[in-house]
Amino acid sequence: ADTLTILGLESSCDDTAAAIVRLNGTAEILAQTVHGQAQLHAAFGGVVPEIAARAHAEKLDLCVAEVLRASGLTLRDMDAIAVTAGPGLIGGVMSGVMCAKGLAAGADLPLIGVNHLAGHALTPRLTDAVPYPYLMLLVSGGHCQFLRVDGAQEFTRIGGTIDDAPGEAFDKTARLLGLGQPGGPAVEAEARQGDAARHAFPRPLLDRPGCDMSFSGLKTALLRARNAQMAEAGGLTRQDRADLCAGFQAAVRDVLAEKTRRALAAHPDLRLLAVAGGVAANQAIRAALVDVAEGADTRFVAPPLALCTDNAAMIAYAGAELFRLGVRDDMTLAARPRWPL
Ligand code: KG4
Ligand code: ZN
């Protein structure tokens, strides 16, 4: 009974995912799959909730069948079903919760509703077995916050964005410059060829104490710089684009790095900095965070990219920790569009 095997489901945004995680002293991902919906939404320039919900409903069973087949296990081998119950796009979350309820009822298994953010925040324990407590910087397309993590149900928000998430700003920047989606990797690639010093982008909220951040002003600054350049020269050259990307990325990097430095300074008992979310894939941002951690004599942990972005292994793992704590949900489990940690 010391071994726990959990099936996890994730469908809160534009990835449909299932995974089987086993806890047996250490955590092991027995199988996982992610079906992205990027192509479905590409023509619309953003995630369309209705299309997302329908695709999740279609793909969830397939994902479950896939991980069961890949692991050679059946539902009978599971100890519980864990599912993202929020926050996220409500149609997608409902699809996942309904699928999980069906599986749990059919196989007579306990059901555990997992907060998507808790899934991200606990990932370094899945990948690197890090001990509590630690500082988590969650930076994605939808989220940006510092969390003090003291346990699987003990999260303290130390600060975060007061408007847009950085990934959203990267995506918007890419759109304004005619680059592809998702914008983060496209902007990062351009920024490598660019001169960050050419445009003076703001560093929002650095003049204010605390760990809150703001990224919507950067979008506006980029739009203004782009328009000025277009008015002056009648268009954008490849170099113009690269310089705008470099300037924008440097501003995001500086804000994240300085606020991380402050978060660590305010919580000297936290000897470990972990990152998660798609933006943590950015090499320039990651390098700056490594520097901050080194400067604070703090260990730095970044899960492999596939586990930094949306996936179901993190949900299965978080479900396993909650199961150990005695958490059980039942058929009244509700899908929650908003669910602060
Ligand atoms: O965590 P994630 O896959 O999904 C959620 O938002 O939950 O993050 C996706 C976001 C997108 O906004 C994407 O543009 C951004 O992460 N992103 C990046 C990079 N790779 C992905 N942002 C900056 N640099 C990157 N290399
Ligand atoms: Zn996420």
Q: Which band of pLDDT confidence, cut at 50, 70 and 90, is reported for residue 1? A: low
Spacing, Cα 224 to ligand 2 middle (Å): 30
Rounded CA-CA distance 214/196 in Å is 20
Same domain, 36 and 104: yes
Same domain, 13 and 113: yes
More confident residue, 264 or 42: 264
Residue nearest to atom 8 of ligand 1 (CA): 278
Ligand 1 site, residue 92, Cβ cutoff 6 A: no
Residue nearest to atom 23 of ligand 1 (CA): 184
Q: Which band of pLDDT confidence, cut at 50, 70 and 90, is reported for residue 265? A: very high
The residue segments making up the domain with residue 91 are 4-128+310-324
What is this model's ipTM? 0.97
Q: Say what the alpha-carbon torsion angle 216, 220, 222, 226 is, to the nearest 10 degrees.
A: 160
Q: Which atom of ligand 1 sits closest to the CA of residue 167?
A: 12
160 pLDDT above the threshold of 60: yes
At 106-159, the pLDDT tens digits run 999 999 999 999 999 999 999 999 999 999 999 998 899 999 999 999 999 999
**Domain CATH for 61:** 3.30.420.40
Same domain, 146 and 240: yes
Cβ-based neighbour number of residue 202 at 10 Å = 14
Same domain, 186 and 316: no
Same domain, 214 and 283: yes
Same domain, 120 and 158: no
Rg (alpha carbons) of the chain, rounded to whole number: 21
> In total, how many domains does the chain have?
2
Residue nearest to atom 3 of ligand 1 (CA): 309
Q: Which band of pLDDT confidence, cut at 50, 70 and 90, is reported for residue 41? A: confident
Ligand 1 site, residue 281, Cβ cutoff 6 A: yes
pTM of the predicted model as reported, rounded to 2 decimal places: 0.93
Rounded CA-CA distance 328/307 in Å is 25
Same domain, 294 and 154: yes
Same domain, 123 and 164: no
